[in-house]
Structure 1
Amino acid sequence: MIEVLNIAVYKFVAIEDGHELRERLLTRALALDLRGTVLVAGEGINLFMAGAPEAIGEFLAFLRADARFADLEVKESWSLAQPFRRMLVKLKREIIRMDHPAIQPAAGRAPGVEARTLKRWLDQGHDDEGKPVVLLDTRNAFEVDFGTFDNAIDWRIGKFTEFPKALAEHREQLQGKRVVSFCTGGIRCEKAAILMHEQGLPDVLQLEGGILKYFEEVGGAHYSGDCFVFDGREALAPDLRARKNGISARASDDPDIAIKQ
């Protein structure tokens, strides 16, 4: 049986030709019989797509031929069926909405920590400087309920636009600690880390590639439950296999719902 390859990719980079880029991406994706959602904004690109492995490889080669996307980091997982209903490419104001215009990730990435390093820190109970490590879940509350890192901070936000307000209310909780923000695939925790640095918290790192890359590289160590994904698979176990077949009740063709990383 040929499985479907699912990819999650984002990059913060200045994009000035959004309309033309949208048409090129949509035309190529449709020609390759891919499905999923791509968001394009002035701040970058964000996509979840699925299809035959060869088609995904051809699409990524096409995308990486553009110098802006040559260094894309891809998270991969597999499914027995196509988890998306159709192919959407949308122009948006932000590729992940925070409603905080001072955040400009294309001007520079937030410092990050790789999955294997984070696992080692969690194994030993502190970072390499001896500081206690605090994990901050930047996802929506219902996503956290599917699974999260052990003892992670969860501010029970309903949507990512609530994160700046939650940070203002809980900022003192993070003072003096090595904070690692995390999310599904990296995009929300990167924006969150930039905001926290802006708000005077210097010891904040993002988990590179989010939970999906962590699962891919080290499995489920220090993580309890599954990782919710915004497509028909609903949630992935630490082995990156879907827990559920069919279309999730929460999956949607609305790209604002269906493409959070």
Structure 2
Amino acid sequence: MFTVLGGSGFIGRNLVRRLRELGQVVNAPGRADLPLAGQDLGHVIYAIGLTADFRTRPFDTIEAHVSLAADVLRQNAFSSFLYLSSTRVYTNGQDTRETALLSASPLNPSDLYNLSKLTGEALCLASGRQNVRVARLSNVVGPDEAQADTFLGALCREASAGHIQLQTALESSKDYIWIDDAVDLLLRIAQQGRHSVYNVASGRQTSHAEWCAAIQSRTTCTLAVNDKAPTVSLAPIFNGRVKEEFAFAAAPVLERISEILGMSGSEPNPDPRPST
């Protein structure tokens, strides 16, 4: 049995979908039902979180990333517990190995996300419970990305309106991973992982220029870049651990551009991306 906490978010609902496709029994309780005290939750995947609005909701951010996880860890039995974190925790450094020494500043409001995720990670790993692991996800993309409150979602919406106006330089780049690759890897880590922390990433940087070229190959939108637009790039994410342990090879996300733009004929789904 699996219990997916945060099952209404982008990552969570795709985990629930995949698990049910595999014939697994899945429980996806709502936030109001937590902490489910005294229950045996089977394999737990903790996908509760806040992303874009964390700066204006500091108390909700700490509750989502730390307090609720603490309650579940303390009050329930489980076969395994996988805490979904983010590769954003590497923002202030160049070493993106899972063993890297990480830094964040409480004086920087933008670091609240990293500090809360790292606190959640530390809590999990210091809990004394068996089979507790952390997965740091890079930028996960999926079908109908225009519904999402993400950089790529904004590009898709602007392209649909006919013009992309970039606020950051074309050379800017990040690691992106397709949702199905991320979900399948998370399920393997949850049940079989030999390490305590994993990067769930493609290991490949995709630049703004590549995204814009791919989008323009499928649309008639125009493109402009702000004068003196800054280059905003994270360091390439190390994914050697998942490649070695699970023989993981990510599919190139640019090959899914039609699905990302919602051109596959499927109905768009509401997609607030609140989970990681």
Q: Structure 1 length normalisation: TM-score? A: 0.26
Larger relative contact order (C-alpha < 8 A, sep ≥ 6)?
Answer: 2
Return the structure number with greater strand share.
1
Return the structure number with greater helix share.
2
Q: Structure 2 length normalisation: TM-score? A: 0.25
For the pair shown, which has the larger CA radius of gyration, 1 or 2? 2
